[in-house]
């Protein structure tokens, strides 16, 4: 099953990346590595999914937000790969920043929303190293922000 077959079976449609809202680019490729800038959690209408885990946002809601971010990251990755996700050799690393209260300690569970989807879509090539941090705030109040490094052919 190709990556696109898997996306179709999961009823996932990838969108082109949004334009950056500050002084950066959405991705940079150096050699065979693509570094994808942090993507923040958004609601279905495109508004920011804002709030803190452990306060307004539950672990389950945060996990769903991380999964949605993984879909956005794959859309950016598809553009970086010239429209061909078949070029992906390996998802190397994710870094997840979870907007959370001082007592919230399930950042790793929230980030599983992204990690598990990447594993489903890319199989063994989707297994990656990862960091998940609790932070006092994310841009625009987003509940989660995730960046990704990918090896491509």
List pLDDT tens digits, range 63-116: 999 999 999 999 999 999 999 999 999 999 999 999 999 999 999 999 999 999
2-21 mean pLDDT? 93
Question: Among candidates 149, 152, 153, 151, which has minimal Cα distance to 37?
Answer: 149
pLDDT of residue 18: 86
CA 92 to chain centre: 13
3-state SS, residue 30: strand
List pLDDT tens digits, range 115-142: 999 999 999 999 999 999 999 999 999 9
Stated pTM of the model: 0.96
pLDDT of residue 71: 98
pLDDT of residue 21: 82
């Amino acid at each position: 099953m190709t990556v696109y077959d898997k996306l179709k079976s999961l009823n996932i449609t990838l969108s082109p990346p949004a334009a950056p809202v500050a002084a950066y680019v959405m991705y940079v490729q150096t050699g065979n590595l693509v570094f994808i800038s942090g993507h923040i959690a958004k609601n279905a209408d495109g508004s920011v999914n804002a709030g803190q885990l452990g306060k307004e946002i539950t672990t389950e809601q945060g996990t769903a937000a991380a999964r949605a971010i993984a879909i956005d990251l794959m859309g950016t990755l598809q553009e970086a790969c010239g429209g061909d996700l078949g070029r992906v050799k390996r998802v190397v690393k994710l870094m997840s920043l979870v907007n959370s209260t001082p007592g919230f300690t399930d950042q790793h569970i929230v980030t599983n929303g992204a990690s598990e989807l990447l594993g489903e879509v890319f199989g063994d090539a989707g297994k990656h190293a990862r960091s998940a941090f609790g932070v006092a705030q994310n841009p625009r109040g987003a509940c989660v922000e995730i960046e990704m490094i990918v090896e491509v052919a």
